Structure 1
């Protein structure tokens, strides 16, 4: 990233502690390779390919963004190098002088450059918005849920995402049974491309033992958008017979194939939303009744305020929301502000979330399928910054 020379701070009002005086980027350690330590044996036995870790550039070169107020800072991490560059190039200049305690003003701050839409731009805007909530919360000495309107509940159920596990592995039913016994709200398993290509009968043969092992527990499926339209339509009766609670991204949401699938569905709830990063796309999916289950990610969708807005809109339309777990502290703050009918559960990624949590000085722990909602100021515990790592300063003189 290239350091910026910015003009004098813009005029502002509000508490001096929450006025942004500087924007910094700190480089973090890479995501560790392989599976996290401490996973139960049934889970590790069923693992397919290990998490990407340093094999992916966004996991290898990671940053934390810091918004510096007067005597207090707000943080968000991890962000990838392209996202950090967009923050430096397009967002930092307009942040100087912004009052982080005025979230509705954030959208009107000056932007430079042309990167204002698309996944990386929205991740950058989301990271800044979340860091503003973190700064405002720490400056006020109030939890983020308190700032959002009040803490409705202090624990939130989690469903276990088993992406990274192989549903065809002989140990998979034992992993399913362990997840069910561990108290999770439910569990979500992947449909690998090779299994999709094998056809509906092969899918039924593979998933039936897993569904049986789950007992009365909720069982979900994620196809990661890998199906062709004809493949997806052929799978719907199989998934209905398996009593799947919802199926995620059989085909890319919002496409012509998605709408064809929507019209052909046979009693299977369709879930989507985590990749709907732009406001117009979110509204098309929700207002167009293109989904049955809403999935939002505060780190991708524009931040907490936007996530709360679409969550409440989904509730008005009769849909439950299951926040995506990529930014778990933010998802927990969102869920802690909502009742269980609005957000029944949030995502806990079995093989990835423990690795994500390693950047924090006190990682989040799950117990009996429940995650604690933070009642202290800030979105999360302090970050573990490598010793001697210099801050990249993107501020005025």
Structure 2
């Protein structure tokens, strides 16, 4: 430590109040203006609202640890100990390797044709229908047509996956009323994962069966196998659903950007990165500080907790030119919408494959989108829609 440490500014905001969840960006901007580290008195954590410090923390797995700190409440941190999500270092790498080979771009390549055919079928039916809900009829329908089969889970229980995933993310916030109300659903998801392990009901060709194989080899115990099942039931769904729905909303509000996509579909990968930057699905996760450290001349003591604010960092004026604008031609490769570093989203390759296929199918058929009466989800962690009523105007 240097002797010239600076005081940490303090803010009283409750980032998990309904109003802050629905309209977060003004709060993020104020926190960024206060400094690279801000102590959130209501939550007892040090927030990292700026891009540089957020990205640096995500690359320093030795100092900023997931285990015991990724959730903003001790109850859930204790429940998920032993999972990939709540492990670090060599143990995290070992657990992630159990299924990692099935999630690489090379491993996913044979799926491309089936995913594109599924996207074509979903989009063609909805465009013919004219009006639809971009959340349920498009994004969730696409994900549920692809992900459960990819995971290899039985048909029984698939209908609950979306609700279970939302509950899981709620439980990662502070132990507020929203988190407490979600605990029973989180327990139901855990019981389902336990049944997958006990009954060995995952199909041999799916990713979930890799966990059963690791259990048979003695690489993980039964309880850890259950935790690993949960690890792949939850994140495989929500980034795709929220990212794709956000894309429809943004293109409806910025028809000029959709025109660019229709004229040049090669822009789709970069456009999806820009969607994730501007409307980051996961707002923030916590980390536990393993040793005394400094950020921006502020001293963070060992054992304290930081809130790594992905969504704020992705709009940081210090890192992005015109950060509030939606620009599909922007180079957004450095975005943190999938996280970053050792704990970056393991399923991001599949999310890109699905979303790119849907946007390409839409670009061939839709001239513009009209959205009326959208409704946002109130979730502790996810920035998402409950409903996005959409009319697709067919291309002439």
**Fold match (TM-score > 0.5):** no
Band of TM-score, shorter chain: under 0.3
Q: Which has the higher contact order (CA 8 A, sep 6+)?
A: 2
Q: In proportion to residue count, which structure has more helix? A: 2
